[in-house]
Structure 1
Amino acid sequence: MKISVLSTTATALALTAVLGTAQAHNAWLLPSTTVFSKADVVSIDAAVSNDLFVANHAPLRLDGLLITAPDGSTIKPESEAKLKQRTVFDVAVAQPGTYRIAVINSGAFASWKDKAGAQKRARGTAETIAKEVPADATDVIISQSSGRIETFVTVGKPSLLKPIGQGLELISTGSPTDLVKGEKTSFTLNLDGEPAKDLEVTVTAGNTQYRDKLQETKIKTDAKGQFTVTWPTAGMYWLDASTKDNKTTVPQAKERRLSYAATLEVMP
């Protein structure tokens, strides 16, 4: 079996396979609100769209949905339904503190040519992808990807988020649900538990369908993985970052692609 070097096209296809979408679109979780004074239920829209927070393309797959309560326990979603252009579900938030609601994607993608020269593709996990490729395949390209899409909800007083230590993750020095128009917020971006140095982070306000330009704010992390955002207006924001390295767990894969996206609410 002939293994070739990863190409940009194959990597894009790998991420498409993991997310179930074209990479040109935005994948997001949108909570009905992010702050409650007491126990309640939050409704979440999950979609992949052309415009931020407007469900106009496809529902987001929830295979990797993980809802973490303030005490570290995992809770299940309620009233889950897959619609034509979005997925919806509820989360009962009873404990005081901050909840982490995330869709985690990890996997591998392979493309190759069969004996007749026809292009073939398959996706799987890091452990199973090699089994998908026939022994007589040629022009084999295998790639690996890891992504996290999340949002945060707080009941009462915010609680600190415990670092996960895998892939790209956002760490707030305060609370990711205590954001106010005109104020600055400091964050840290980690990669596998270590500071993600010199990484570009993009912050975009929602309602992009009503603007001629996206009006993105691009910020670089420092040597400690830290960066600061000043919020120009109230509303929902989408924060995203991506990177790549060679720390793969698939022997044939030459590159690992990592992505992160979070929906954050800024108050007036």
Structure 2
Amino acid sequence: MKRIKSPATVALVGILIVGLLPFSAQAHRQWIAPSAAQVEGKAPYITVDAAVSESLFEMDSFPLKLDGLVITGPDGNNITPENPYTGKLRSAFDLQLNQKGTYRMAVVTESVMATYKLNGEEKRYRGTPDGLAKEVPANAENLQVSRTFGRVESFVTNGKPNDTALQPVGKGLEMQPLTHPSDYMAGEPARFRMLLDGKPVASLNVTIVPGSVRYRDALQETAVMTDANGEFSVTWPIAERYWIGASYPPRAEGPPPAPGQPRPMVPVRYSYSATVQVLPN
């Protein structure tokens, strides 16, 4: 797949992740998808789906849990969703847009994976940071710990858009829309900036996948690399729902470890994905 060099601009022709899985045609992807990205009204409702799926925006695998759900309103304050639900294949919630402006909905997660030996036996731990100290004994040997921070988000605007909820959080890997999400139109460019703990990330691979995958014979994902300022640009070919994803640091390439030897664990890994909706021009 051809990478676009700086300035990072890509035209998508023809057009989650579970934890640490790579962005590939067979990867599961985490996503949240509002029923509409632009609405008008005094206090309209939207419904938001959240899932982890192999076929993008289809409920074919399992739900994305809402434990880390954070909704930021147009005034910068947090909002409590209504009717949160988690089933076999998806989670969902309702959101009343009482304020005019732009809302940011994000599922933020932090997890820990560890490998160690106890009495000569190989052990593994996967769970929360708080559970690590409880589950892994103090006398564990060859302890390796990898922490992961994830953010899965989307945006919706009621009436006139604003930028308050779009300001960088400054923690983990995140995407700052330089073109407002309400202005994504087919045939027009949109610019973004990728940040890690509030600082631009240069030379970061970003994957972009259009929705309606089940109606095509190819995934048609596209990769673009951020420039020196952490920025990249997309020109949307058609009106559609799109998934944007990235992870950091880059995955190490090379031969697999020797038989019986574990692959070295990355101390910290970050993942990010967003769902955006592109309207007809």
Q: Which whole-Å deviations, capped at 9, do the CAs of 1:24-48 have from their partners, x for residues lacking one?
A: 3111001100001223111011100
Paired residue secondary structure (2:249): strand
Within the alignment, does 1:211 sit opposite 2:216 as a pair?
yes
CA RMSD of aligned residues (A): 2.0
Aligned counterparts of 1:195 and 1:100: Cα–Cα separation in 2: 20
**How far is 1:115 from its partner?**
1.5
Structure 2 partner of 1:96:
100
Q: Which structure 2 residue ranges, 5 or more long, are not aligned?
A: 1-17, 21-25, 251-264
Within the alignment, does 1:85 sit opposite 2:89 as a pair?
yes
The code of the aligned residue for 1:234 comes to: A
Partners of 1:78 and 1:89 within 8 A in 2: yes
Structure 2 partner of 1:133:
136
The code of the aligned residue for 2:108 comes to: I
Structure 2 partner of 1:261:
273
The code of the aligned residue for 1:24 comes to: A
Q: Which structure 1 residue ranges, 5 or more long, are not aligned?
A: 1-13, 17-22, 246-252
Structure 1 partner of 2:178:
173
Partners of 1:149 and 1:261 within 8 A in 2: yes
Structure 2 partner of 1:34:
37
Structure 2 partner of 1:50:
54
| Identity within the alignment, % | 44
Structure 1 partner of 2:6:
none
Q: Which whole-Å deviations, capped at 9, do the CAs of 1:110-158 have from their partners, x for residues lacking one?
A: 2223225153324222x65244311232332210111100000001111
Partners of 1:115 and 1:136 within 8 A in 2: no
Residues 230, 30 of structure 1: alpha-carbon distance in 2 compared, 3 angstrom cutoff: same
Q: Normalising by structure 2, report the TM-score.
A: 0.81
**How far is 1:207 from its partner?**
1.5
Structure 1 partner of 2:112:
108
Partners of 2:19 and 2:271 within 8 A in 1: no
Map residues 227-242 of structure 1 onto 2, 5 A cutoff: 227-242=232-247
Partners of 2:125 and 2:132 within 8 A in 1: no
Aligned counterparts of 2:61 and 2:70: Cα–Cα separation in 1: 23
Aligned counterparts of 2:32 and 2:124: Cα–Cα separation in 1: 32
> Larger relative CO (CA 8 A, sep 6+): 1 or 2?
2
Aligned counterparts of 1:145 and 1:183: Cα–Cα separation in 2: 35
Paired residue secondary structure (2:65): coil
Q: Normalising by structure 1, report the TM-score.
A: 0.85
**How far is 1:108 from its partner?**
1.7
**How far is 1:15 from its partner?**
3.3
Aligned residues: 242
